[in-house]
Amino acid sequence: MAIQELTIRTPDDWHLHLRDDALLQETVPATSRCFERAIIMPNLTPPVTTAAKAEAYRQRILAAIPAGQRFEPLMTLYLTDQTSAQDIADAKVAGVVAAKLYPAGATTNSSAAVNSLERLDPVFAALAEAGMPLLVHGEVTDAEIDIFDREKVFIDRHLSRIVAEHPQLKVVFEHITTADAVEFVQQGPERLAATLTPQHLLMNRNDLLVGGIRPHNYCLPILKRATHQQALLDAVASGSSKFFLGTDSAPHSQSSKESSCGCAGCYSAWSALELYAQIFDNLGVLDKLEAFASEHGANFYGLPLNESRLTLVRESWTVPERIQLPQGESMVPFYAGREVQWKLKQPS
């Protein structure tokens, strides 16, 4: 008989975009309903490039947590060509837990990011010394490189060197999308791990392009072939501690997605944990969800496991077609209008 109810240790989201200002009133409650901690992406406008900016941002997030909910934002530093080893030391003292590497132009709000990865070797060394992981958006941005090949080229051209030449550096290869990335992480040292998103586990590029362009399924790294999707599914089904939950949930207004140059990102915060449960259930490995969602990431970051627990129940519900944003605009969430088979059980 199929499992009807599943209680697990409260999970964490190891890759999350909350944005800022009024949007925090939407994104923070959506996250804190089921995640106790989250790694907060620093690609604001302007980006979070110093310890002082990280602390100020953290305070704005804390102010948006609903009464009665527990949530700890884990702050990150946005790397630029000007980032120094001293910036890393200052961030460590301030409680920043990791640094984020965006190749310049790779994704939303990354224009101020890194143009020359080789020049950041002193920063990578400082991160290793501080015990702070390097979080990597792993794509090259060269115009001549096919967008479906950019993750693989980044591994060959950059990430393999960084991992090899900095033997004490912890690296999280974020939102991986290809069989090449899965193989690279599996064959790499224990200090190399990866996050996987619900959209890359549930979809492939047919879901973006067949029957017309579907802008709300457009994310970066872009959805890949079904064979790559299967490699990601195999990775999470394996139960390997090198893979853990990172939603990459990223809010964008409906108008900014449905424009002549629509932005990248899927907002999954209101359904992500339930979708992961559905994925693991479909794979027949529901018993491995807790480790993926609640243990592997914390262990990799050297943080204690959460002590609280939550319960998911097998109950069908439909993701809303739209969400109203605080500024008056609307947003189409990931999986809008589609049925989900698991639901977070609310405390009685």
Of 143, 183, 179, 142, the residue nearest 160 (C-alpha): 183
**Measured distance CA(202)–CA(340) in Å, rounded:** 12
Is 200 annotated as a binding-site member?
no
Q: If you ran DSSP here, which 8-state letter would residue 327 be given?
A: T
Of 175, 177, 80, 94, the residue nearest 132 (C-alpha): 94
Helices (H), 16-118: 24-32, 51-62, 85-93
Is 248 annotated as a binding-site member?
yes
Of the listed 12, 13, 180, 248, which one is catalytic?
248
Which residues are bridge partners to 73 per DSSP?
38
Q: Are strands 12-16 and 192-196 parallel, antiparallel or unpaired?
A: unpaired
Is 137 annotated as a binding-site member?
yes
Helices 51-62 and 85-93: angle between axes, nearest 10 degrees:
40
Neighbours of 78 (CB within 10 A): 25
Is 13 annotated as a binding-site member?
no
Residue partners of 166: CB distance under 8 A and separation at least 6: 121, 124, 125, 128
Is 192 annotated as a binding-site member?
no
Q: If you ran DSSP here, which 8-state letter would residue 74 be given?
A: E
Query: CA end-to-end span of the chain, whole Å?
Result: 26
Is 18 annotated as a binding-site member?
yes
**Tokens 């089904």 belong to which residue?**
237
Is 17 annotated as a binding-site member?
yes
Q: Are strands 37-40 and 12-16 parallel, antiparallel or unpaired?
A: parallel
* Catalytic (active site) residue 87: no
Residue 129, token pair as written in the block: 């010394």
**Measured distance CA(273)–CA(30) in Å, rounded:** 11
Task: Answer whether 300's CB lies under 8 Å from 288's CB.
Answer: no
Is 264 annotated as a binding-site member?
yes
Which residues are bridge partners to 243 per DSSP?
194
Residue 107, token pair as written in the block: 């994704």
Annotated binding site for Zn(2+): 15, 17, 100, 137, 175, 248
Residues contributing to the annotated binding site:
15, 17-19, 43, 100, 137, 175, 220, 248, 252, 264
Catalytic residues: 248
Residues contributing to the annotated binding site for substrate = 17-19, 43, 137, 220, 252, 264
